[in-house]
Amino acid sequence: MTQPREIRHYGWIPDQPDQRDHLYAAPSQYLTALPSSTDLRKKCPPVYDQGQLGSCTANAIAGAVEFDRMKQKLSDFVPSRLFIYYNERKIEGTVPTDSGAMIRDGIKSVASDGVCPEPEWPYVISKFATRPPAKCYRDAKLDRAVSYQSIVPNLNQKRTGHAPMPGWAERAVGGHAVMAVGYDESKQWFLARNSWGTRWGMKGYFTMPYAYLVQPGLSQDFWTIRLVGR
C-alpha cells in the first residue's frame, strides 16, 4: 500500500516591474572580502510551515524580518505571517481568495503597515480572509521594514534537499518564494530556507544551483530587506 502524496502549496505571483525600484548594490569592500562559503542556518529562527495556504511570500518575508531583528540583537519577535498575507492581498485586491501574492506587495505592506507579533494574530489558516483586529495594526507600526531593494541576478524541489536543474520534459507547477541563507562557491549552489516545515528537505532547508537562479524562466523577483527597526 502506497502512502498518500503530500500536497504542498506555493503562492508566489510573478512581479510587475517598476522603474521606481531602488536596486541593491553590494558595497565593493564586502564583495572583495566574501568567504568561499556561508551558512546562516544557525542564526535563523525556526523554520515555518505554511501548511495548505498559498502564503509562501508572507512566510519568506516574515523569516527575513525575524532574521534581521535577531541579527540586530533586538528583542524577541515572531512576525505574524497571516497579517502579512492579508495585507499583501489587500494591496492586490484579492483578500477573499487564497490567491498567493507578489513579493513586492508583501514587502510594501510591511514597509507601510508593519507587522504585528504572531501571538496577536496567529497562523490559523481558516482566518486567512479575516481582517486582523485594530490592535494588530497599532502594534504593527512598531515593526516595519525601513529599507528594501530589488536585486538584479547576475549569477521539482526534491526531498533530498537539493533542487536540480529541471529536465527538458518537466513543467512548472506553481511559483514559490523562499529565503536565501547561504552559498558555496566550490559546489556552485545557494542554500535556501523553505516554508514547508522541518520534515521537508534538509530539516526545512535545501540547496539550489547558481545556474537555476540566473535563468529567467526558472527564477526571478529577488529582494533584500536591509533594516528592520522601531
Buried-exposed string 53-84: b where 16+ CB fall within 10 A, e elsewhere: bbbbbbbbbbbbbbbbbeeeeeeebbbbbbbb
pTM attached to this predicted model: 0.80
C-alpha angle 181-185-187 in degrees, rounded to nearest 5: 95
pLDDT of residue 16: 65
84 within 8 A of 195, measured Cβ to Cβ: no
Instruction: Write out the chain's pLDDT in tens, 230 residues.
Output: 333 334 345 555 656 666 556 665 666 666 677 899 999 999 999 999 999 999 999 999 999 999 998 988 888 899 999 999 999 999 999 999 999 999 889 998 998 899 999 999 999 999 999 999 999 999 998 766 666 756 655 543 334 444 444 444 444 334 688 999 999 999 999 999 999 999 999 999 999 898 877 776 666 678 888 766 55
For residue 58, report the phi and psi dihedrals to the nearest 5 degrees: -65, -40
80 within 8 A of 117, measured Cβ to Cβ: yes
- Quote the strand ranges of the chain, DSSP E: 37-39, 144-151, 179-184, 189-193, 205-209, 222-229
pLDDT of residue 88: 96
From first CA to last CA, the distance across the chain in angstroms is 54
Q: What is the topology classification, in CATH, of domain 35-229?
A: Cathepsin B; Chain A (3.90.70)
* Residue type, position 226, single letter: R
221 within 8 A of 103, measured Cβ to Cβ: yes
Nearest to 84 by CA among 155, 19, 25, 143: 143
Which one-letter DSSP state was computed for residue 143?
S
The set of cell numbers assigned to 55 is 502564503
